[in-house]
Every structure is written in structure tokens, then in C-alpha cells.
């Protein structure tokens, strides 16, 4: 750490101390630069590669990376019990998916590491890419209702309008004000 210069109020020394505390706790990620994202969609989870500058890799980040790896492994293990035809059924996949999300969030909270964060997002994106990419709502095919239902839906409002107009006219013929 740089030596503090003597100023009248000592603000420079406190500022450097604050900067050192932020860098040491991992709140400023100046020590690690994300180089890329390596993944094998079939077998491995997302892994972030860092270019280290000295020994500035924060311990919380390293621990969080290791724990998210374990969360991913448990998620993959849970998803092995899901058949291909069940991948788009929320009742079946909600437990493993919710586990992954809760695991990533809980470890971030325990380590005082911000959530959502880039690594957690990569795991969520990887899960969607690997398991749920064919589950979009846009693939649903809509069919016209049967003709008898369609006819009833068209005729009911047409018949209801003259009935309501007749009812309003009949009730307004009485010259008295209604309470």
C-alpha cells in the first residue's frame, strides 16, 4: 500500500485506506479481469477464466466459484431423473431449477457476494441452453373452437344487446325517480 502523505485533515490517508478495504473485500473487481467463458454444453458447467494481477483474486469470489460448481453438479444430477418428454413440464422441473437458483443465491448471501451476479447468470443461461431451449411458449399451436361453441359465442352478445336495451327503456318509462 502506498504511504500516506501528511495533509491537514488526513483525508488522503483515509481515502487510500478505504480504497484498500474495498479492493481487499472484493467489492471492486479491479484485480480480476474476465477473459472469457468456457463451456462444454454436454458435460461441464460454465467456468469463468480470470487473468490474475498479482494475488488480488478475492477469497469470496474463489469460494463462490467453487460452491456454484457444486450447485451445478447437484442440478445436473437431479436433471438426470427427468426424461426428455418431461423437460418442458414445470411440475417436474421446478424442484431442480428452484434448487439451482436457491443454491446460487444462498451461497452469494453467505459470502456477502452480490446476487444476481455474472457467474450465477451464466449457470442459469447454461441450464436453459442445455435443458430448456425447446420449451418456448411461442411453439404452442392454437385451434379454433368447435363450430357449435363458436356460434354460441357469436350469437349470445347479439341477442343480449336488444334484451338490455328493452330493459332500460321499460325501466325508464316510469316517470318517478328510482331510489
Domain contains 127? yes
Scanning the structure block, which residue is given the C-alpha cell 498479482?
54
Instruction: Let me know if residue 26 belongs to a domain.
Output: no
CA distance 16 to 6: 12
> What is the total count of domains within the chain?
1
Tell me whether residue 89 is in a domain: yes
Which CATH number does the domain housing residue 93 bear? 1.10.150.510
Asked if residue 113 belongs to a domain, the reply is yes
Give backbone dihedrals phi and psi of 47, rounded to 5 degrees, phi first. Answer: -135, 130
Does residue 129 belong to any structural domain of this protein? Answer: yes
Angle made by CA atoms 68, 72, 73, in degrees to the nearest 5: 120
Specify the pTM. 0.47
Flag whether 46 is in a domain.
no
Q: Are 30 and 54 in contact (CB under 8 A)?
A: no
Position 162 in a domain: no
**Residue 83 domain-assigned?**
yes
SS3 letters for the chain?
A: CCCCCCCCCCHHHHHHHHHHHHHHHCCCCCCEEEEEEECCCCCCCCEEEEEECCCCCCHHHHHHHHHHHHHHHHHHHHHCCCCHHHCCCHHHHHHHHHHHHHHHHHHHHHCCCCCCCHHHHHHHHHHHHHHCCCCCHHHCCCCCCCHHHHHHHHHHHHHHHHHHHHHHHHHHCCCCCCC
Tens digit of pLDDT at every position of the chain (179 positions) = 444 444 444 444 454 444 444 444 444 343 343 333 344 444 455 554 444 444 434 688 889 999 999 999 999 999 998 998 888 888 999 999 999 999 999 999 998 888 889 999 999 999 999 998 888 765 566 678 899 999 999 999 999 999 999 999 988 886 665 55
| Domain of 80, in residue numbers | 64-133
Cell numbers that stand for 64 in this block: 463462490
Phi, psi of 107 (to 5 degrees): -65, -35
Sign of CA dihedral 62, 67, 73, 76: negative
Amino acid at each position: 500500500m502506498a504511504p500516506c502523505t501528511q495533509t491537514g485533515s488526513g483525508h488522503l490517508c483515509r481515502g487510500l485506506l478505504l480504497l484498500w478495504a474495498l479492493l481487499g473485500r472484493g467489492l471492486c473487481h479491479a484485480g480480476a479481469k474476465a477473459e472469457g467463458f468456457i463451456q462444454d454444453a454436454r458435460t461441464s458447467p460454465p467456468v469463468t477464466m480470470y487473468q490474475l494481477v498479482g494475488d488480488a483474486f478475492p477469497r469470496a469470489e474463489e469460494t463462490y466459484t467453487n460452491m456454484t460448481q457444486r450447485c451445478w453438479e447437484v442440478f445436473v444430477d437431479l436433471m438426470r431423473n427427468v426424461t426428455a418428454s418431461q423437460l418442458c413440464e414445470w411440475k417436474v422441473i421446478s424442484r431442480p431449477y428452484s434448487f439451482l437458483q436457491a443454491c446460487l443465491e444462498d451461497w452469494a448471501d453467505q459470502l456477502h457476494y452480490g446476487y444476481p451476479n455474472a457467474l450465477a447468470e451464466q449457470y442459469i443461461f447454461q441450464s436453459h441452453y442445455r435443458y430448456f431451449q425447446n420449451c418456448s411458449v411461442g411453439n404452442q399451436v392454437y385451434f379454433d373452437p368447435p363450430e357449435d361453441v363458436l356460434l354460441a359465442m357469436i350469437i349470445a352478445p347479439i341477442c343480449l344487446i336488444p334484451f338490455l336495451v328493452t330493459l332500460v327503456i321499460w325501466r325508464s318509462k316510469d316517470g318517478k325517480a328510482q331510489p
